[in-house]
Structure 1
Amino acid sequence: MRRRHHFHMDHAGHSVSATVQTGHTVEVEVLVDGKATGYATTHDDHPVTVHVELPTDPPSQVAVRATPGPGVPRCFLEATGAEPQVMSPRPY
């Protein structure tokens, strides 16, 4: 059964959102400031990392690491020189 899970975090003045669609093939889409900037797939409960760029001056690289399972999916925002931060789940 496929389900969508949404996550969000504000980082460096920008909105970073992730949607994890679970199932046999897991799809992860990352939006920065409402624009789709990254996409990846994985199988079953295998973690996947999506690298995206924030429109800062100069642009900065961050990554969203999605762990689809087991259980409820989780997402972490990984930025250079900082500990990974847990992205907040969104109920919609």
Structure 2
Amino acid sequence: MSRHHFHIDYLGHSVSATVRTGHHPVVEVLVDGKETGYATTRDDGAVTVPVELPTDPPRTVTVRATPGPGVPRCLLLATADGEPLVMAPRPY
């Protein structure tokens, strides 16, 4: 199992994701340093994790993580009609 970290700043908030690969991949999402989303999957397929940004009013966005095959990837899906935003990989 290995860990991969991703980050993006969006609407003044820090959104980070950790993807743990292995037999049962796990995705943890933090907003402003607080865990707000968690998901597991049984394969390398994409998993989506809805999270809420503490804006006024609160805004729901989705992190889509793809554990594999190959190097994991993460996108922030902020609006239904907008382009997905690539979350940059980061060293731990």
TM-score, normalised by the number of residues in structure 1: 0.96
* Percentage of identical aligned residues: 75
Number of aligned residues = 91
Structure 1, gaps ≥5 residues long = none
Cα RMSD (Å)? 0.7
Q: Which has the higher strand share?
A: 1
| Structure 2 CA distance for aligned equivalents of residues 17 and 66 of structure 1 | 11
2:14 is equivalent to residue 11 of structure 1: no
Greater shift, 10-19 or 42-51, is seen at: 42-51
Distance in structure 2 (CA, Å) of the matches to 1:44 and 1:90 = 23
Q: Taking structure 2 as the reference length, what is the TM-score of the superposition?
A: 0.96
CA distance in 1, matches of 2:82, 2:58: 17
Match in the other structure for 1:23:
22
**Unmatched tracts of structure 2, length 5 or more:** none
